[in-house]
Structure 1
């Protein structure tokens, strides 16, 4: 079975996200832990959480994925910005324990001309200060497109972060198709090669989730602009190969395409039709 969903809004509540997912044919979903451009988080209603967990169990959902706000920059040159990132992520991980055994994804950040190695050290330090042995949440580093001074545009950079984290069993990677294509990994013409390179450098055992997005920009553009499935430079044929690849097909896929619920429903239907059970 294809495990696929999209990004849903938590504004209506947790149970509502589960209901929205079911309404569009999804069996998983992603959501922001709090305002994606700020720091305010929605109060957690335990009864609402229980209602969602029942939906997930009854409908055999794949693992859900929470996304950290875009405002976090764990490797900023500014200490207050780094402290803010640490505070928010630590709080997010406490909140995620309401949803046991879920994923939490974040952008590694931008080193802002300090240099990649300094940025990586800051990220490692933050993770080592907040990860707990008892947590059930797996924290995922997202592959990045490489715009500006982003950290995480190469598999090697992500590997360095993973190697520096003491509780490495709590860590993994979320593979964003738009980002890796924009970063210079040719998943259109050499998918096997990219997967083998990931396995050699990081290890496929660390690949937990895939952001399934087309790209508005050409290969190696470092632009990071998502497009609806089949309408961008990656294209439906390449995306069909991705969701059916024997080393990827078992993973949960999360759409972050520029669509509303109706559009996501159409994308999910199309992808289910080209997925080979």
Structure 2
């Protein structure tokens, strides 16, 4: 089963979000665990959750992906920022696990001057405090573009985080096509080489989901600017190669392209026609 869906807001509830996914002919979706720019999470509405779970089951959804808020920085040098991130990731792992969500991804963090090794140590510490090993949820480190002081734009950095976490059987990777293209991994001309490198350093068994995005910025520019599929510097041919690659085609794909619901519906239709042709 080919699994694809967009990012959908849950501001009107999980059930409404699931209904929107069905309307777009999606069989999964991504959502923020809480307000992406805010702090405290809303309590669950159990009636809404029950309806959401019913829609999910009736429509044979693939794995869902929760996304931690952008305000969460586990690699930060400032203690108040770090303490907030430690609280949020622990809470959100518990909340998403309660919902039976398969995956939760997060941006590993930015060291903000503390240095990459310092930031990685903080990320490891935060994850070790948050992950008990009893979860069904898998927490995904997202591949980053390398802008500013971001951590996670090199496979080696992600591997170091994984190796430092005690219950790393609950960790995986969400590969963002725009990000790794911007970070300098040539998925346009050398996709097989990039996957071989990923496998050698991290292991393809750790690759659990893909953010399928084109890039407004050129290769290796270390800037995070998403574009609609086929309308950026990656191009549709390379994106099709990713979607249909034997090592990737069975993973869930999540669109973070700049569209509204109707735009995503058209994009999903285009993708399905390509995959099924």
TM-score, normalized by length of structure 2?
A: 0.98
- Partner residue of 1:131? 131
**Alpha-carbon distance between aligned partners in 1 of 2:168 and 2:76, rounded to the nearest angstrom:** 23
**Alpha-carbon distance between aligned partners in 1 of 2:156 and 2:64, rounded to the nearest angstrom:** 27
- Partner residue of 1:32? 32
CA contact 2:119–2:151 (8 Å) conserved in 1: yes
**Alpha-carbon distance between aligned partners in 2 of 1:106 and 1:112, rounded to the nearest angstrom:** 17
Deviation for aligned residue 1:51: 1.0
Query: Which secondary structure does the structure 2 equivalent of 1:98 belong to?
Result: helix
Deviation for aligned residue 1:275: 0.7
- Partner residue of 2:119? 119
- Partner residue of 2:109? 109
The C-alpha deviation readout for 1:200-222, integer Å capped at 9, x for no partner, is 10001000000000000000000
The C-alpha deviation readout for 1:20-50, integer Å capped at 9, x for no partner, is 0000010000000111011132320112111
**Alpha-carbon distance between aligned partners in 1 of 2:99 and 2:182, rounded to the nearest angstrom:** 33
**Alpha-carbon distance between aligned partners in 2 of 1:192 and 1:99, rounded to the nearest angstrom:** 36
- Partner residue of 1:84? 84
- Partner residue of 1:100? 100
**Alpha-carbon distance between aligned partners in 1 of 2:48 and 2:56, rounded to the nearest angstrom:** 13
Query: Which secondary structure does the structure 2 equivalent of 1:208 belong to?
Result: strand
The CA RMSD over aligned residues, in Å, is 1.0
In structure 2, runs of 5+ residues without a counterpart are: none
**Alpha-carbon distance between aligned partners in 1 of 2:99 and 2:250, rounded to the nearest angstrom:** 21
**Alpha-carbon distance between aligned partners in 1 of 2:19 and 2:171, rounded to the nearest angstrom:** 29
Residue 71 of structure 2 corresponds to residue 71 of structure 1: yes
The C-alpha deviation readout for 1:212-241, integer Å capped at 9, x for no partner, is 000000000001010011110011111000
List 4+ stretches of structure 1 deviating above 4 A: none
CA contact 1:244–1:276 (8 Å) conserved in 2: no
**Alpha-carbon distance between aligned partners in 1 of 2:271 and 2:253, rounded to the nearest angstrom:** 11
Residue 216 of structure 2 corresponds to residue 197 of structure 1: no
- Partner residue of 1:244? 244
**Alpha-carbon distance between aligned partners in 1 of 2:132 and 2:24, rounded to the nearest angstrom:** 36
Residue 113 of structure 2 corresponds to residue 148 of structure 1: no
**Alpha-carbon distance between aligned partners in 2 of 1:64 and 1:101, rounded to the nearest angstrom:** 6
Deviation for aligned residue 1:89: 1.0
Residue 164 of structure 2 corresponds to residue 161 of structure 1: no
Per the alignment, do residues 101 and 23 of structure 1 end up closer, same or farther by CA in structure 2, a change over 3 Å counting? closer
CA contact 2:104–2:137 (8 Å) conserved in 1: yes
TM-score, normalized by length of structure 1?
A: 0.98
Residue 49 of structure 2 corresponds to residue 49 of structure 1: yes
- Partner residue of 1:272? 272
CA contact 2:216–2:226 (8 Å) conserved in 1: yes
- Partner residue of 2:175? 175
Deviation for aligned residue 1:168: 0.8
Deviation for aligned residue 1:259: 0.7
CA contact 1:49–1:98 (8 Å) conserved in 2: no
Count residues with an aligned counterpart.
277
Deviation for aligned residue 1:276: 4.1
**Alpha-carbon distance between aligned partners in 2 of 1:175 and 1:97, rounded to the nearest angstrom:** 21
CA contact 1:212–1:255 (8 Å) conserved in 2: yes
CA contact 2:65–2:101 (8 Å) conserved in 1: no
